[in-house]
Structure formats: structure tokens, C-alpha cells
Amino acid sequence: MQVRIHKLARATPVVRQEIKESKLSCKALASKYKLTLRTIYKWKKRESTHDKSHTSHNLLSSVSQREEAIISELRTKVGLSVDDITRVMQGCINPKLSRSAIYRAMKRWGVNRLPEADKNQPHSQPFETVTEYGHILMD
């Protein structure tokens, strides 16, 4: 694997290794390599001299775990479409949820596609006539 370094980078892997192994004080190292103390501290305490991933590890979601469970139940037990689930969730649970956030939650739970057998059957009744959806949401 080839390491790409920014052309103006001062903390190259070689410099990082020297910082890690050096017995000099952090202030002396910062002065020697023209780096901030924070950078020196960072490379001193790191296990490796390689860069870490810049991908966020805390992917924020606008849908809570409880809401995701409700979405999954509405999809699997009631068989509602994404638009119907959006109306239920916005009307009863969280008016700020978007259709795309609901669809992403469905994908995470693996319920974004109905099973093949259910696709061929038309919905027996429109969403507005389903009387048990309030009961499902209260569970």
C-alpha cells in the first residue's frame, strides 16, 4: 500500500516515528519539527504512525431505535408502503421524520423490499381503513 502525503505535510511517517521514539520533551519536539504541542501529544500516544480513517464512526440518524422498530413492524406486520409508513410516523410519532430517513431505517432492518409472494397480492384495503394501526403503534 502506497502512502499518500500532502505536499505541505510536516508530520510524515518518518517524523511521526521519530517523535514517538524520541526522549526529548514535547516542547523541544514541537520546536524541532515546527509542529503544535497537540500534534506532538497525538503522535506520542498513538500505537501506529499511520493515519486513521477520516470516516465518521458516529453516523447520526434522525430515526431513534424505537422508531426504527416501529417502522419495521409497520412494514412486516401490516405491510404498509413507504409512503403510508411516512404518514403514520409523521402523524403519530415524529412529525420531523422524512421519507428518506424512514426508507434508510427500513434498509437497515432489511425490510425495504416486500417478499415476492406479497408483491403479487394487491393491498386488500387502503391505509385509511386499517383500524388496528393505532394498536400496533402503542405496543
**Total domains present in the chain:** 2
Within-domain flag for 55? no
Predicted confidence (pLDDT) per residue in 49-101, tens digit: 887 777 766 566 788 889 999 999 999 998 899 999 999 999 999 999 999 99
Does one domain contain both 30 and 71?
Answer: no
Confidence category of residue 137, pLDDT binned at 50, 70, 90: very low
Rounded Cα–Cα distance for residues 118 and 123 (Å):
9
Does one domain contain both 81 and 30?
Answer: no
Whole-model pTM: value is 0.46
Burial of 57 (0-12, 13-18, 19+ CB in 10 A): exposed
Does one domain contain both 19 and 72?
Answer: no
Q: Which domain holds residue 41?
A: 13-45
Does one domain contain both 69 and 134?
Answer: yes
Within-domain flag for 85? yes
Q: Among 3-17, 33-47, 71-85, whose mean pLDDT is lowest?
A: 3-17
Does one domain contain both 70 and 118?
Answer: yes
